[in-house]
Structure 1
Amino acid sequence: MGGPGAVVSFPLLHMVETNALAEYAERVEFHLWQNPDQLRVLLAKNELDYSAVPVNLPALMAGRGQHVRLLNVSVWGIIWLVSRDPQVKGFADLAGKDVVLPFQRDLPAILIDELLLSHGLKPGKDLTLRPVRDGQDAQALLLAGRADHALLVEPAVSLLLWRNRSKGGAPLYRVQSLESAWKQAFPQQPELPQAGLMSSPQRAEDGELARAVEAAYAESARWCSTQPRDCAELVHRHLPHLPVEAVEESIRVTRLDSVAASVARGPLEALFGLIAERHPQAIGGSMPLASFYGP
């Protein structure tokens, strides 16, 4: 199994520690990947059976002809607006601002564009989106006082705030989550599926194992949600570069609620329909088939 260093992967680490799949596997390992290219390499080498992913990534793979399946949606909000200006209360207050953006072509960028447009804000005209390479660059700019506003994903937000407090920096504020702003802007489409678990091509047809993995993941996700401190300590054992305090805060502010993809198909198709209309290349040019929604 694999995933990024984010909340969507934390239940997988709990599954590894508790040997949750002992009935199906002698040994279960977790592979940390940093970007989709690394994930593709792991899949190509058949080194991953299941991976935590942003939900559009398996849709993109399926659109390109790869036989993958989305098993669940577990994370429904990981993007936050962070600011050092206490007068900025939400996305609607970004007119005339310079906002650091560490993602340009993936799912967060697509959603942010849609949300800003709903507030009548056109990037490049009404505000400036300042692209940077990644979340670490965005954090560095804020910590150095060279940026005042940024859009970041968890756990980068919690890590930034923890680092800023540790160094006694000028106050930074967790302003508003994209999930909260989305519900206000699009009440007819309030759910915002962000990330979940996908099966690799070599495991896509193993329905029994997929159901077992999805059920074990859901149980571990519930444990992480109800035991954020214990979960944070577990995560730190596997990913020691993530401080316990920052991980705990990240879990507390993230909606971690595992729902089978077949059950969450409505919100997923609404999201994929929006992407297909605006940025079809992000899902491979077509909507996923019914068989895509597992387990």
Structure 2
Amino acid sequence: MKKLLLCLLATFLSVSLVACTSSKQVENTSDATDISEVSTESVNQNEPITLKIGVPTAPPALPVLRMMDTNALGDNVVIEIDIWDEPETLIAMVQDGNHDFFAFPLTVISKLYNKGLDVRLMNVNTWGVTYFMTSDPEFSTWSDLKGKTLYVPLQSSPPDALTQYFLTEAGLTVGEDVTIIYASTSEVATMLASGEAEYATLIEPQVTKVMLENTNVRVAYSFEKEWQRVNHTETKIPNAGFGTTQTFINENPELTLSFQKAYEEAAAWVNENPAEAGALAEKYLGLKAALIEKALPTMGLSFQTAVDSKEELDMFYNLLNGFNPEMIGGKVPDEAMYYDAE
């Protein structure tokens, strides 16, 4: 049983992050500059280049918007973002050879790495961003879901895996005791807000959006707190991070380092300036500025390099490997997957 619950957990923690429909490109046109001194001068001496970055409409994208708006990588570097709305689209971006940086669910990058692709994880930037929500005033524990129907974003996604993990830990069998219906994140949010769905798993900023639209809906569980309770740990749940390929690193070492430093600074700025970050999300992604501003405190946006996140990543990957190795590509990824500028 323990093995079974661990299998489903894995898929979840690939993150959560759900996005716009088809790919959309946004070009950086601002004249402002704002970045630390790391290799910017050498980047500026190069020929003009365009960086194509795959992101979801979720927390990892927000620092990139700040970088675009400030020309953080120098006047000769144009940033374009392509939106991915499901892991399959992201994987296609990695394989097409036309993209340079990616916001990765952590299970996805591990699976790609273990399958032989030269992907590298640069940082972890999103932690504990998933919540279980309900409009049922009587709901108090997972066991109350016996005989109920739950709505979950994207089958085999991190929210799906962790939802099933907690249900199994509570002694419930999915498909027998509990029915799960899968849909896109936006569809789940709409059904929950309208009252069509009574129980659902969601991620930010959709969590805040639903509660603003329907005051009867509440957060019943923070998945991060449940993770800590079930596993007797203070460790945070790592959900997503930015990465690139070893090929890109080899060909552009200074630009890679500049991106990492600029992203770290931009993530700090986003957390310190929620109103301004919301305005950027509305400008570039079409999200409501007020929604992003209100949701930011619970979005779990916090920068750590991949190397500095090793403790959390080791626990995460080892747990999933014991549950179902295929969720992470057959084994715990070795340290070569982690980008280290030193």
Q: Larger deviation: 228-237 or 203-212? A: 203-212
Residue 154 of structure 1 corresponds to: 204
Aligned residues between the structures: 287
SS at match of 1:238: helix
Taking the aligned partners of 2:244 and 2:263, their CA distance within structure 1 comes to 13
Taking the aligned partners of 2:249 and 2:118, their CA distance within structure 1 comes to 7
1:225-264 matches, within 5 Å, as 225-240=271-286, 242-264=287-309
Residue 101 (structure 2) pairs with residue 50 (structure 1): yes
Name structure 2 gaps, 5 residues minimum. Answer: 1-52
SS at match of 1:197: strand
Of 18, 33, 41 in structure 1, the residue corresponding to residue 70 of structure 2 is 18
| 1:5, distance to aligned residue in structure 2 (A) | 0.3
Taking the aligned partners of 2:106 and 2:117, their CA distance within structure 1 comes to 15
Residue 127 of structure 2 corresponds to: 76
Distance 1:204 1:120, change over 3 A: farther
Taking the aligned partners of 2:198 and 2:179, their CA distance within structure 1 comes to 12
Of 199, 211, 228 in structure 1, the residue corresponding to residue 257 of structure 2 is 211
TM-score by length of 1: 0.89
Distance 1:286 1:189, change over 3 A: farther
| 1:7, distance to aligned residue in structure 2 (A) | 0.8
| 1:156, distance to aligned residue in structure 2 (A) | 2.1
Name structure 1 gaps, 5 residues minimum. Answer: none
Taking the aligned partners of 2:322 and 2:249, their CA distance within structure 1 comes to 28
Q: Larger deviation: 103-112 or 77-86? A: 103-112
| 1:284, distance to aligned residue in structure 2 (A) | 1.3
Paired amino acid for 1:272: Y
| 1:66, distance to aligned residue in structure 2 (A) | 0.0
Residue 42 of structure 2 corresponds to: none
Residue 303 (structure 2) pairs with residue 290 (structure 1): no
Residue 143 of structure 1 corresponds to: 193
Residue 36 of structure 1 corresponds to: 87
Distance 1:120 1:33, change over 3 A: same
Distance 1:189 1:273, change over 3 A: farther
Answer yes or no: is the 8 Å Cα contact 2:151–2:183 preserved in 1: no
Q: Deviation string for 1:157-183 (max 9, x for gaps)?
A: 223233x24xxxx61112222112111
Residue 109 (structure 2) pairs with residue 65 (structure 1): no
1:89-128 matches, within 5 Å, as 89=140, 91=142, 93-126=144-177, 128=178
Answer yes or no: is the 8 Å Cα contact 1:265–1:293 preserved in 2: no
1:269-284 matches, within 5 Å, as 269-284=314-329
Taking the aligned partners of 2:126 and 2:142, their CA distance within structure 1 comes to 21
Answer yes or no: is the 8 Å Cα contact 1:4–1:53 preserved in 2: no
Paired amino acid for 1:8: P
Taking the aligned partners of 1:32 and 1:95, their CA distance within structure 2 comes to 37
Q: Deviation string for 1:138-161 (max 9, x for gaps)?
A: 123223322211001222222323
| 1:50, distance to aligned residue in structure 2 (A) | 0.7
1:160-179 matches, within 5 Å, as 160-162=210-212, 164-165=213-214, 171-179=216-224
TM-score by length of 2: 0.77
Q: Larger deviation: 67-76 or 273-282? A: 273-282
Distance 1:37 1:201, change over 3 A: farther
Residue 249 (structure 2) pairs with residue 198 (structure 1): no
Distance 1:20 1:97, change over 3 A: same
| 1:208, distance to aligned residue in structure 2 (A) | 3.4
RMSD value, Cα: 2.1
The percentage of counterpart residues that share the same residue type is 26
